[in-house]
Amino acid sequence: MTAPTVELSLAFGFDAAHRFECFPDGHPNRRMHGHSFQVEVAVRGTPDPATGFVMEFSRLEAACGDLRSALDHHVLNEIDGLEQPSLERLSVWIWDQLAGRIARLTQVTVRRDSRGQSCSYRGPG
């Protein structure tokens, strides 16, 4: 029997403000405004036979906690790499921040539930 491949995920939220200077004057998204964001980070792998884990949730929680602190109650435009903080760029930015810490990272999804919007990124390539 082959070992199963499973996917774990951890979700966290943050509140932040942003603006989009690419929109014309008078467009509501050009002005500073805020959202409650939800992020889901997924890792995939085969559980270790000794522990039963793909990875310990505490490692994932620590990495995501650091990111949450960097984003929560900040102006996203003021964060290096997020000068135009679309959901697309935010998903890739979060991936880039986690990829060095989470070896089996498979997907990052960022949601704005109040708007029914989301973006998923599955890594380069």
Residue 26, judged by CB atoms within 10 A of its CB (0-12, 13-18, 19+), counts as: exposed
In the chain, what are the domain boundaries? 6-121
Query: What does the block give as tokens for 1?
Result: 């029997």
Question: Tell me, what amino acid is at 92?
Answer: V
29-65 residue pLDDT tens:
788 889 999 999 999 999 999 999 999 999 999 999 9
Instruction: Quote the CA–CA distance of 110 and 60 in Å, as a whole number.
Output: 16
pTM: 0.92
Which DSSP string corresponds to 7-23? EEEEEEEEEEEE--TTS
94-117 residue pLDDT tens:
999 999 999 899 999 999 988 899
Find out if CATH 3.40.250.10 is the number for domain 6-121.
no
Residue 124: CB atoms within 10 A of its CB come to 8
